[in-house]
Chains A and B, each alone.
Chain A
Amino acid sequence: MTEVIRQKFFYILLLFGIVVLCTAIYFSQITVSTPAEQVKFIKDFGLAAIMIFASLIAIVGTAQLLPLELDNRTIYPILAKPVYRAEFLLGKFAGMAVLLFLTIVLMSGIFTGVLLYAEHYFKQAVVADPTVPMDATTQDLVSMLVRQIHDVNLVKAVALTYFKVVIVCAISLLISTFATSVIFNVIASFMVYICGHLESTARHAWVGGQQPAWTKFMLLIITFFVPDLNAFDVADAVINGQPLPMEYMMRTIGYGLFYATVVLVAAYVIFQEKEI
């Protein structure tokens, strides 16, 4: 964890993420007109910013961990101690998972601040004179804005984002056990990330479509080996006020943890045999 924290890219990405979050109100004003739409925009913008910057930190940060240890030969004195390779690998993963957790908590804190400021800002815009009692329409609008901003589903969406980046982190670590360069690892991780968002489409095409054998084979590979990252993207549902049942949350988090565990076991099997 300390390793990534001391690297410049981490601060650049984190700072950029924070700046993007803070500018959400400004962008909402120039994009949409009504307060209700503006709140929706801020929520969408904020959730997307957290997801994108956490994913970038997960991929770029994890991709460097093992290759740097090997290139700098810092791995030798560590594995020369009574340390199992599984411990080493798990330590790297756990450090990154904790760092991602802290990053998401920090960005979520700033996002909350932005939403609370938006609530105050829009209330002032809607209620012209606070000393005069509000009419029914204004009251409805204000309570709708408050409901939208104090939405518990936002926390659920951020929680799922965390488990999504944990999967991405595990995949990047797996690739780094056999990849020969950091660049290759970053590109390969991004490809898996993109395929992960197309997994549900590929699954439906594989189950129902009438494709040529080669296409069917590729769809099969994506369906079975690539995680369904779309399952963790619930921003649209949250913004549109759709419910996020606990059962869906548990099932998705369970799927994420299971997938990450399988990927880590595969990473261990490869790393155990690797000659250092």
Chain B
Amino acid sequence: MHAIETKDLSKHFRISLRRKVVGLDRLNFIVREGEVYGLLGPNGSGKSTTLKLVLGLFQPTEGEATIFGRSVEEVASRVSVGFLPENPYFYRYLTGEETVRFFGRLCGMRGRKLEEKVSELLNLVGLEVHRHRRLAGYSKGMLQRIGLAQALVHEPKLMLLDEPTAGVDPIGSIEIRNLIIKLKQMGKTVLLCSHLLDQVQDVCDRVGILHYGKMILEGEVKDLLARKDQFQFVCEGLNEGARGRVRDAITQSGAKVVTEGNPETTLEQLFLHSVQQAEKDKK
């Protein structure tokens, strides 16, 4: 049984009496249990529409979707789902602790079990020290993390994350990425919508690319990214003489050197390293 399965799922939006816009066009895809699936695409490609259809917030024009074999039209299908909306807005007058407790109660949780779960999740998302602060004073990164905590409160098997790092600084973004990896280790299935491709590449097992409501490419991240006609070595301590011999050997074998030089770090890694170094120096 798949975590998510859609069959010819379509959504048309009526914008006037005669005009309709196609939000999603006969989408067929599956998310396997235990994997992290990245749904990619530019703005307006249908990512959020797909999530809303899977959550039953929209009625499909055609087709159907199931969660662990259960139609999304059944409210009970959402027992297995945790949802983190894009730029999540919660009641700003509630504290972090009250927010997670509120969502736990919505799922029928009560008493000691709920209190233990609230503490466990605030710990997991690193907000234990801010549990008594009102959300009005939370940063964007903290709101995303409290969003993750509320999504996890009823121990769902499937997590739907809509742009989880939107508007978050690189450090917050890395923390959220690490949380997603932690979710996978906990055995959760994750459907991640994003247009920040670097992050998706780091955490996803498979990706699908949506454009104008259609799936235009889908597959394993490794398969899609690998250039099977090329090969690379990354070496340490290779002097100029040795480099020349390697070049000769490659040419003699009939192959061609396409690029050579020092490998680059990513800007994200550089940023993280600099900030961490500055914090160490301050101490």
CA distance A83 to B59 in the complex (A): 17
Near B by CB (< 8 A), chain A positions 1-25 give 2-3, 6
Check: B90 CB closer than 8 A to any chain A CB. yes
CA distance A80 to B84 in the complex (A): 9
Near B by CB (< 8 A), chain A positions 87-110 give none
Contact A3 B147 (CB under 8 A): no
**Interface hit among B74-82, B188-196, B208-216, B231-239:** B74-82
Contact B78 A80 (CB under 8 A): yes
> A77 and B107 in contact (CB under 8 A), knowing A82-B75, A83-B75?
no
What chain A residues lie within 8 Å of B151 (beta carbons)? 77
Contact B83 A74 (CB under 8 A): no
Check: B103 CB closer than 8 A to any chain A CB. yes
Check: B57 CB closer than 8 A to any chain A CB. yes
Separation in Å of the B22 CB from the closest CB of chain A? 15
Check: A117 CB closer than 8 A to any chain B CB. no
Contact B90 A81 (CB under 8 A): no
CA distance A137 to B78 in the complex (A): 75
Check: B106 CB closer than 8 A to any chain A CB. yes
Interface size, chain A (Cβ < 8 Å): 18
Near B by CB (< 8 A), chain A positions 37-72 give 72
Check: A247 CB closer than 8 A to any chain B CB. no
What chain B residues lie within 8 Å of A2 (beta carbons)? 91, 93
Near A by CB (< 8 A), chain B positions 138-178 give 147, 150-151, 154, 160
Check: A276 CB closer than 8 A to any chain B CB. yes
CA distance A275 to B52 in the complex (A): 9
Chain B residue at minimum C-beta to C-beta distance from A80: B83
What chain A residues lie within 8 Å of B106 (beta carbons)? 78, 81, 83
CA distance A262 to B154 in the complex (A): 34
Contact with A along B78-122 (1 / 0, CB 8 A): 110111110111110100000000010011100000000000000
With A74-B89, A80-B85, A81-B154 already in contact, 16 other A-B pairs whose C-beta atoms are closer than 8 Å:
A6-B93, A72-B89, A73-B87, A77-B83, A77-B85, A78-B103, A78-B106, A79-B56, A80-B55, A80-B82, A80-B83, A82-B75, A82-B107, A84-B75, A275-B59, A276-B52
A binding-site residues for B, Cβ under 8 Å = 2-3, 6, 72-74, 76-84, 273, 275-276
